[in-house]
Structure 1
Amino acid sequence: MLGGYVASILAAGWITLSLALVSLLLAVLIGIAAALAKLSHSRTLRIIAGTYTSLVRGIPDLVMMLLVFYSLPAILNQKAQDLGWNVYIEFSPFVAGAATLGLIFGAYMTETFRGALMNIPKGQLEAAQAYGLTRFRIFWRILLPQMARLALPGFTNNWLVLAKATALVSLLGLPDVMFRAKGAAEATAQPFTFYLLAGGFYLAITAISLFALSLVARRYEVGVKELAR
């Protein structure tokens, strides 16, 4: 009987991994856009990006998640009703969780990427502009590769925290690892066994991520050493 619960928890691992990866993609895209906005010459963009990061980092993750899952659809439905639209908006736990985690960790990625961009020598950008490269080519060929190397330590920390934060989405009813572990613990009255199993799953994600990202870091270090010679 216990084996069935264990299999159910482990089978839900793909949901947790999918949620983490989708959230990470959103966080990276938002982080890059907001970092560029913070470093732009536009005062409006700097204010918008600064307001976004300050608000998101100042609100607890769980509160933000509940606002997106419960309050935002209610507000949108009320607005639709006022406009006479016959629509009903409802977010699935996966969509609400991924969007919320993407927004939250997008704010942290913003600061990580901004710090990395600020450490790139300005002379390289001036040289690229002198050669007539477009903004897109400058970003893609010069800024992005160096930003990835410089931001890797902060990126790693953000990813590890994000992966563990996916457990919060179980409170919205998403049948992920934590949700299944909670159900098994309540059904068998053996919370230690199943919560320990869930903890082991997240620990495995952490260990594998650290190993993979350490290989990436070594690859970047080799390139830097070669250039230094």
Structure 2
Amino acid sequence: MNAYYLAILQGSLLTIGVSLLALLVAIVLGLLGASAKLSGRRIPQAIATLYTTVIRGVPDLVVMLLLFYGGTMGLNKLMEALGSSRTVDINPFVAGVLTIGFIYGAYMTETFRGAIQSIPPGQMEAAWAFGMGRWQTFYRITLPQMVRYALPGFTNNWLVLIKSCALVSLIGLKEMTYLAKQASAATRSPFAFFVFTAVLFLLYTSVSLWALRKLNQRYSLGVRKASV
């Protein structure tokens, strides 16, 4: 029994790795999507709107399976069209990171878009009047304030993203949910292993909440809260 618990603990490290790398992908896609939606250009806006509408309207599991199996089939068709007889098998770790990152990039897009729109536009106009470029204005003016406005939504997205990492067990990645299922099948004692896995997820989300609250306090320094 102890060997199964140890294996689940080792699998939890894989879960953390998937969630952190997927978060990085989601942040990059979220910033690109928010920029596209706020660009004022029709084509980027249409692409970003289609992306967020479709991804947020379809269950995560369905999107993950479509991307994983559809991506594999698409690559194999491409290899066949290029005259190669080789087949492509997508690594489950890479597939898990990219699919979860792609899914939550849509949610991050709306979070970042709302945060940027909360910043008074006069601040950016003043920065441009002082001769700052767009990148310098974003780094010095927009980004620090965007982080403060985005943190509540970012926190919710991150917590859901962590829990969604359990879905990658369905594409063959041996993270802790997959290993808990295997241990349950081998010992016919599912309750203990799934409770252990649930406690690990709860531990990760609790630590995340604590860290993000500290970060929120850091970015809220000097901000007066309205009294009710």
TM-score interval, normalised by the smaller of the two chains:
over 0.9
Structure 1 residues without counterparts, runs of 5 or longer: none
How many pairs are equivalent? 225
1:18-97 to 2 correspondence within 5 Å? 18-97=17-96
Aligned partner of residue 40 in structure 2, secondary structure? coil
> Are 1:192 and 2:191 matched, yes or no?
yes
1:103: which partner in 2? 102
CA distance in 1, matches of 2:113, 2:85: 43
Q: What is the aligned partner in structure 2 of residue 219 from structure 1? A: 218
What stretches of structure 2 of length at least 5 have no aligned partner?
A: none
More off after superposition, 62-71 vs 39-48:
62-71
Following superposition, the deviation at residue 80 of structure 1 comes to 2.3
Give the Å deviation of 1:65: 1.1
Paired with 1:145 and 1:221, the residues of 2 have a C-alpha distance of 10
Normalising by structure 2, what TM-score?
A: 0.95
Following superposition of structure 1 onto structure 2, how do residues 68-217 of structure 1 map, counting pairs within 5 Å?
68-217=67-216
For residue 222 of structure 2, give the secondary structure of its aligned residue in structure 1. Answer: helix
TM-score where L is the length of structure 1: 0.95
Partner of 1:12, secondary structure, is helix
One-letter amino acid of the counterpart of residue 217, structure 1:
N
**Offset, 1:75:** 1.8
1:13 positional shift: 1.2
Instruction: Report the alpha carbon displacement of residue 88 of structure 1 after superposing the two structures with TM.
Output: 2.9
SS at match of 2:177: helix
Q: Contact 2:9–2:176 (CA<8 Å) still a contact in 1? A: yes
Code of the aligned partner of 2:3? G
Q: What one-letter code is carried by the residue in structure 2 that aligns with 1:121? A: P
State the distance in 2 between where 1:220 and 1:76 align. Answer: 44
Give the secondary structure class of the aligned counterpart of 1:155: helix
SS at match of 2:220: helix
**Structure 1, residues 43-88: CA drift from partner, whole Å, max 9, x if none?**
1111111011111112211111111221211122112212324543
Structure 2 contact 144–219 (Cα < 8 Å) conserved: no
Amino acid paired to 1:105: Y
Letter of the 2:171 partner, please give it.
L
**Counterpart secondary structure, 2:141:** helix
| Aligned mates of 1:69, 1:46 — CA distance in 2 | 26
